[in-house]
Amino acid sequence: MCKRGLAPILREDILPTTLYNSSLLLGDFNTHHPWWDPFRPQSTHAIHLISYIENHSLRLLNKPGEGTFYRSNMSIPSVLDLSFATSGIVTKIKD
């Protein structure tokens, strides 16, 4: 994903506008938010993703703070790869 973040993706209609009751949404969102990445400052464009999550009643599957991206020059891993589920399937998912 480009450094411009999620806003361009939303404009390009890459994220589905409709989700089935049993849907998973997975991806490298390249967006920081205390909800899933409490060790980094919030991305300025995170509000777009949060709005999408709320509008679709998605549940975060990631363990908050558990890194998904690491480089040797980083002191702590970053949480960029996110997994979400709709309420119809979230109770059926096992870690």
What are the structural domains, with CATH classification, of the chain?
Answer: 6-90 (3.60.10.10)
Helices (runs of H) and strands (runs of E) counted in the chain:
3, 3
Segment 44-79, tens digit of pLDDT: 888 888 999 999 999 999 999 999 999 999 888 999
Categorize the per-residue pLDDT at 10 as very low, low, confident or very high, splitting at 50, 70 and 90. low
Query: What's the mean per-residue pLDDT of the chain?
Result: 86
b or e along 18-31 (b: 16 or more beta carbons within 10 Å of the residue's beta carbon)?
ebeeebebeeebbb
Query: What per-residue confidence (pLDDT) applies to 61?
Result: 96
Q: Is the separation of the CB atoms in 27 and 15 below 8 Å? A: no
Segment 28-40, tens digit of pLDDT: 888 899 999 999 9
Q: What's the CA dihedral at 24, 29, 33, 39 to 10 degrees?
A: 110
